[in-house]
Amino acid sequence: MGGMCLNWGCIPTKALLESAKVFVKTKHVDEFGVDGIDAAKLSFNWNKAKARSTRITKKLSAGVNFLLKKNGVELITGSARLGADHTVYVEDKKLTASHIIVATGSKPKKLDDTLSNAPVVEMEHLFTLDAIPENVVVTGNHVSAVEIAQFFNMIDRKVTLIANSSYYLDGLDEFLIAYINKKLKSEKIDILQDTYPVKFEDGALFVGNDKVRCDLLVNCNSRKAIIPESETPFQLTERGFIKTDDHFGTNIKGVYAIGDVCGKSFVAHVASAQGIHVINTIKGILSGFNGAMYPINMYTQPEIAQIGMTEQEIKAEGTEYKISEFPLSINGKAMIEGNTDGFVRMLSDKKYGQVLGVQIVAANATDMIAEAAAFMSIEGTVYDVAMTIHAHPTVSEIFMEAGFDAVDKAIHK
């Protein structure tokens, strides 16, 4: 229970990233007045970090099972297929329901057969590795590929990231993409864009005109829907996901699809929100679902988060807008923590001052973005943001500063 996110994705990989961040910070503890640690003797223990991650996953998975049992949910294990007349068959069982929700998820697209001899590992098998070799290649276009590439780099491996399509970091503001590429290059992570590995030979991966040393090839490719067998075929989108309407209903009456399988998002918090929306719809509680109003989080170093419209989307609409940006380099709390790399970037319309989009780069950006989600959900303006009193010293003060900047009254800039 818990799917890709809980068992192989969000939770375990973020636990690994946290271990790597502690490893990197420990190398510089002398700057904080901590003596006695020889940075030259530090090493990253993959198996211990992996074991810690697994403990966290097991605890959360047990919690999900407990909640199901507590709420009287019957759990049936097996392969399911949809029949006619609102029936679901699981092995030798036949179930009937007025409403059926498909939440079967997705998996990364398999690499080409020409790479069958390469040292490939799928994300769900990453934790089966006993050791991490020296030269790691990550292939993929989305947030997870960047996170995994940076993880291996933080534990002192030579890393190459192959972004193999025009969908590289699709959905992120171009300003953030430029920041990410600059950051990765500064960390000596090689990025090969709009290309694809074609063969593996003598320990090297051939990618376009490049030859990359490769001891491990991690598949973080774009995800493909896991579509259950159905007597009535599902209508699919051009990219092979189950096609749904505004309330996640499919072409089969009474059957809904949420999460990765419908292709509208690939993050767990959106799948959960879609699930709640479907239940409300079934119960007659009708409302709209704004797919743009969910955070996109990257658990990199520093973290990156975005919500709302990108600058490119605002331009395409023809809306007059203003950009307010405030750096962490002059924030007291960021200086105290030694995390001054980052900023808050706020996009607002010039006419009313409504906040249209927020982008954050900060050590705790994935937590801070919730504040932006709160004031954007009520169509808050830059005036509301500026007049919200933030405690001092906090990193979140940069919201207030960005708000003041938007109304041309920045105090500390």
Give the β-pairing of 120-122 and 216-220: parallel
pLDDT of residue 111 exceeding 70, the answer is yes
Token digits for 186?
Answer: 């500064």
> Using N-to-C axis directions, what is the helix angle for 174-186 and 143-154, rounded to 10°?
20
Both tokens assigned to 276: 């709640």
Q: What are the pLDDT digits (tens) for 316-333? A: 999 999 999 999 999 999
- Indicate whether 413 pLDDT > 80: no
pLDDT recorded at residue 155: 97
Instruction: Give the domains, in start order, of the chain with CATH numbers.
Output: 110-221 (3.50.50.60), 302-406 (3.30.390.30)
Specify whether the CB–CB gap between 338 and 331 falls below 8 A: no
Confidence of residue 135 (pLDDT cuts 50, 70, 90): very high
Rounded Cα gap, residues 286 and 291, in angstroms? 16
Distance CA 165, CA 141 (A): 7
Mean pLDDT of 232-236: 96
H or E stretch including 372?
Answer: helix 365-377
Percent of the chain's residues with pLDDT above 90: 80
User: What single DSSP character describes residue 374?
Assistant: H
**Between vectors from CA 47 to CA 46 and to CA 48, what angle results, nearest 5°?**
95
Q: State how far the Cα of 367 lies from the Cα of 233, in Å rounded to an integer.
A: 41
Whether omega before 197 lies within 30 degrees of 0, making that bond cis, reads: no
Angle of the 397-406 helix axis to the 365-377 helix axis, nearest 10: 50
How far is Cα 184 from Cα 159, in angstroms, rounded to an integer? 10
- 162 pLDDT above the threshold of 80: yes
Quick one: average pLDDT of 250-261?
96
Torsion of CA 256, 261, 263, 266, to 10 degrees: 120
CA gap 138, 152 in Å, rounded: 9
β-partners of residue 192 are 162
Q: Is 104 helix (H, G, I), strand (E, B) or coil?
A: coil
- Average pLDDT for the chain: 93
Per DSSP, the residues of 221-261 read PPEEE-PPEESSPPPB-TTSPBP--TT-B-SSTTEEE-GGG
Residues whose CB falls within 8 Å of the CB of residue 154, separated by 6 or more in sequence, listed in order: 17, 20, 21, 23, 24, 301
How do residues 335-389 score in pLDDT, each as one tens digit? 999 999 999 999 999 999 999 999 999 999 999 999 999 999 999 999 999 999 9
Residue 305 in this model has a pLDDT that exceeds 90: yes
Q: Which two tokens stand for residue 259?
A: 């999460």
At 73, is the secondary structure helix, strand, or coil? Answer: coil
Q: What is the pLDDT of residue 406?
A: 84
For residue 337, what are the CA distances in angstroms to 25, 27, 394?
11, 15, 10
Specify the DSSP element, H or E, that contains 95: strand 93-96
Residue 108 banded pLDDT, cuts 50, 70, 90: confident
Question: Is the distance from CB of 336 to CB of 362 less than 8 angstroms?
Answer: no
Which of 41-45, 387-391, 397-401 is the most confident on average? 41-45
User: How far lies 282's CA from each of 42, 248, 256, 286, in Å?
Assistant: 56, 11, 10, 9
Q: Which range has the worst mean pLDDT, 29-33, 257-261, 266-270?
A: 266-270
pLDDT band at 166 (very low <50, low <70, confident <90, very high): confident
Give the whole-angstrom CA distance, residue 251 versus residue 248: 10
Q: Which pLDDT belongs to residue 412?
A: 63
Instruction: Examine the pLDDT at 410 and tell me if it is beyond 70.
Output: no
Distance, CA of 310 to CA of 220 (rounded, Å): 24
Residue-wise pLDDT tens digits, 194-208? 888 999 999 999 998
- Confidence check: pLDDT of 245 > 70: yes
Give the span between the Cα atoms of 385 and 109, in whole angstroms. 42
Task: Please give the structure tokens belonging to residue 194.
Answer: 């709009």
Q: Is the peptide bond before 393 cis (omega within 30 degrees of 0)?
A: yes
Average of pLDDT values for 80-107?
93
Longest dimension (CA), the chain: 70
Q: Please tell me the number of Cα atoms within 13 Å of 387 on its side-chain side.
A: 5
What is the structure's pLDDT at 91? 86
Give the single-character DSSP code of 41: G
| Global pTM value | 0.92
Under the banding of pLDDT at 50, 70 and 90, the label for residue 267 is: confident
